[in-house]
Amino acid sequence: MNLIASLLKAITDYKGVVIILGIIVFFILLTIWVYRNHVVPKLKPSFVENREFEHDGDNEIKHKEATLMYFYADWCPHCKAAKPHVDEIKSIYDTTTSGKRVNDYAITFEYVNCSDDSNTEVTQKMDKYGVEGFPTIKLKYDGKIADMDAKPDKETIELFLNTMLK
């Protein structure tokens, strides 16, 4: 009963009303902040669109040219396992060394080391192409981007190139 009596006395006192209203406003604002920052993102996760075949806006790729981008991290065991396969494909298809083409597409290879988070050029490239895990292989061709969604070994990379570059 002491608590109820104290609240009634505080309500009848002008200063007590101001203090109680201040506390109520504080908790209302705190509740709104918690709701907006912690509850709403879980209720409505941001839509992640499929970026496959999306134009990237670069004018650097012309018809019949393609770039295979290999995003990796030095610490990633999957990247270490995939790198020899990517290197082998590069030795076969890289037009800067061998000149072999896939369905008349000249292919260049771009290796992007994502180990250093402080490198703004790398983080911007990761954001631009939606790289969230490693290893990630993307193919830029005819102004489009295609994601490779398979185990990165020689056969699947060749199949990916032959399928996408028709």
Q: Is residue 48 part of a domain?
A: no
Q: Are residues 71 and 142 in the same domain?
A: yes
Give the list of residues 6+ apart from residue 38 with CB closer than 8 angstroms, or none.
Answer: none
Q: Does one domain contain both 79 and 147?
A: yes
- Does residue 50 lie within any of the structural domains? no
Sheet of 106-113, strand order: 106-113, 65-72, 136-141, 144-147
Domain that includes residue 28, residue range: 2-43
- Residue 76 and residue 111 in one domain: yes
Q: Are 91 and 134 within one domain?
A: yes
Asked if residue 77 and residue 20 are part of one domain, the reply reads no
Place of tokens 């020899």: 84
Question: Could you tell me if 146 and 78 lie in one domain?
Answer: yes
Query: Do residues 99 and 26 both lie within one domain?
Result: no
Residues 108 and 147 in one domain: yes
Q: Kindly report the backbone phi and psi dihedral angles of residue 2, in degrees, each rounded to the nearest multiple of 5, phi listed first.
A: -65, -40
Q: Domain tally for the chain?
A: 2
Query: What is the predicted pLDDT for the residue at 67?
Result: 93
38 and 74 part of one domain: no
Residue with tokens 């005819």: 142
CA angle at residue 156 from 154 to 159, to 5 degrees?
A: 105
The helix (H) or strand (E) run that includes residue 144 is: strand 144-147
Q: Which of 134, 136, 138 is nearest to 115 (CA)?
A: 134
In a domain, 54, yes or no: no
- Among 137, 146, 131, which Cα is nearest to 51's? 146
Mean pLDDT by 10 residues, the chain (166 residues): 75 73 92 83 57 54 79 94 93 80 89 89 91 92 90 91 89
Report the Cα 130 to chain-centroid distance in Å: 4
CA distances from 40 to 35, 95, 105 (A): 6, 49, 46
Same structural domain for residues 105 and 142? Answer: yes
Classify residue 58: in a domain, yes or no: no
